[in-house]
Copies of this chain bind each other. A is one copy, B any other.
Amino acid sequence: MLERRRARRRVTSEDVASQAGVSRSAVSRTFTPGASVSQETRDRVLRAAKELGYRRNALARSLTTNSTDLIAVVMGYLSSQYEPYFFGRLTARLQRMHKRALLVHVDDSDEVGVPLLEALSYPVEGAIVAAGSISPETAEECMRLGIPLVLSGRAIEADGVDAVCCDNFRGAQLAAEALVNAKHKRIAYIGGKATIQAEVERSAGVRDGLAAHGLSLFAEERGDFSFESGYRTALTLLRADQPPDAIFCCNDAMAMGAMDAARHTVGLAVPDDVSIIGFDDIPMAAWPGFNLTTLRNPVDEAVDNILDLLQRRIERPNLPPVIRRIRPVMVRRGSAKLAQL
């Protein structure tokens, strides 16, 4: 036990001051950018710090600067192919801004309240929620604690809560219009989990896009955003007596599952027998084996907006809430027969 304690005791700035034979304030000034300290004192402090293995404590420092640079980031299992892509870029950008991500893990459909509020026992400056669902009560609690919240891919109406979302409704409308313009007659939809905002909006958008041409969905199945669920539900659609001539899927992973079901299990050609359109434009949508036509949900634009809103709200906590909608763009590859533009 003694050995353990010795190995683990944290060296304090007082230890450094004592070893260097200077005041504690001199140690503090040495480690504060721009603070005044003589070269000789600085050298003595740095030498003592190195000898003792002194680590500056970012959180002790925060007591004076009022800034911890710690941002809670709520993420799920990263099991879709869109999430890791988004998350890798978000955390790289945070680090370049000299912020640190404190990770909060939630299962994809869980309410984030308990794990998020637990994480707030660390002195975070703000939180980014990119997985799970968030109740108005949890948002209100964060507001009351003075923690700015930015939601990614989900939005709620609450004071002090900003959000960045893809314009899912418009994207799904575009998919429906493109399929109708190319004379598809039997357009099916594979949706994701009903509790997820992207599903609600994409589902409404495809219906609206068809209704504008006097059409409605020919058939409909529900998956859970996974490749496997796209594969399974597409089999049901494609083995029906009257199969669809086009399938719009709520995300790319399900669209890839639908392509594999059509080509490798049912023996249909894509797009000759059935057109398939996804949503998100994950990197593997461009792989030759998929060559998937999809709606691009631009990751870098989302990350830019999230960090901009977070910074803005840290500086001015009482601004009215903002929801920024990012416009998706259709990426025409080879999985859907579409009319020439």
Seen from chain A, the residues whose Cβ lies within 8 Å of a Cβ on chain B are 3-4, 7-10, 53, 55-59, 61, 66, 70, 73, 75-79, 81, 83-85, 87-89, 91-92, 94-95, 100-105, 115, 119-123, 144-146, 227, 231, 256-257, 259-261, 263-265, 283-284, 287-290, 315-318
Instruction: List, in ascending order, chain B residues with CB within 8 A of A53's CB.
Output: 144-146
How many angstroms between the C-alpha atoms of A283 and B79 in the bound complex? 9
Instruction: List, in ascending order, chain B residues with CB within 8 A of A81's CB.
Output: 81
Copies assembled: 2
How many angstroms between the C-alpha atoms of A180 and B104 in the bound complex? 47
Once the chains bind, are A287 and B260 in contact (CB under 8 Å)?
yes
How many angstroms between the C-alpha atoms of A94 and B83 in the bound complex? 19
How many angstroms between the C-alpha atoms of A7 and B231 in the bound complex? 50
Instruction: List, in ascending order, chain B residues with CB within 8 A of A57's CB.
Output: 121-123
Q: Choose among A66, A101, A102, A105 the residue with the greatest number of B CB atoms under 10 Å from its CB.
A: A105
Given the known interface contacts A53-B144, A256-B287, A289-B263, the answer about A105 and B84 at a Cβ–Cβ threshold of 8 Å is: no
- Contacts beyond the supplied A95-B103, A103-B103: 9 A-B pairs with Cβ under 8 Å: A53-B146, A55-B145, A70-B122, A78-B87, A79-B84, A84-B84, A95-B105, A100-B119, A227-B287
A117 CB to closest chain B CB (Å) equals: 8
Instruction: List, in ascending order, chain B residues with CB within 8 A of A85's CB.
Output: 78-79
Among B9, B122, B144, B288, which residue has its beta carbon within 8 angstroms of that of A265? B288
How many angstroms between the C-alpha atoms of A123 and B105 in the bound complex? 20
How many angstroms between the C-alpha atoms of A257 and B287 in the bound complex? 8
A221 CB to closest chain B CB (Å) equals: 18
How many angstroms between the C-alpha atoms of A227 and B288 in the bound complex? 10
Once the chains bind, are B105 and A102 in contact (CB under 8 Å)?
no
How many angstroms between the C-alpha atoms of A91 and B66 in the bound complex? 28
A-B contact list, 17 entries, CB within 8 Å = A3-B318, A10-B123, A53-B146, A57-B122, A59-B59, A76-B88, A77-B92, A78-B88, A91-B103, A100-B122, A101-B102, A102-B103, A231-B287, A231-B288, A260-B289, A264-B288, A265-B288
Once the chains bind, are A146 and B103 in contact (CB under 8 Å)?
no
Among B121, B146, B260, B289, which residue has its beta carbon within 8 angstroms of that of A7? B146
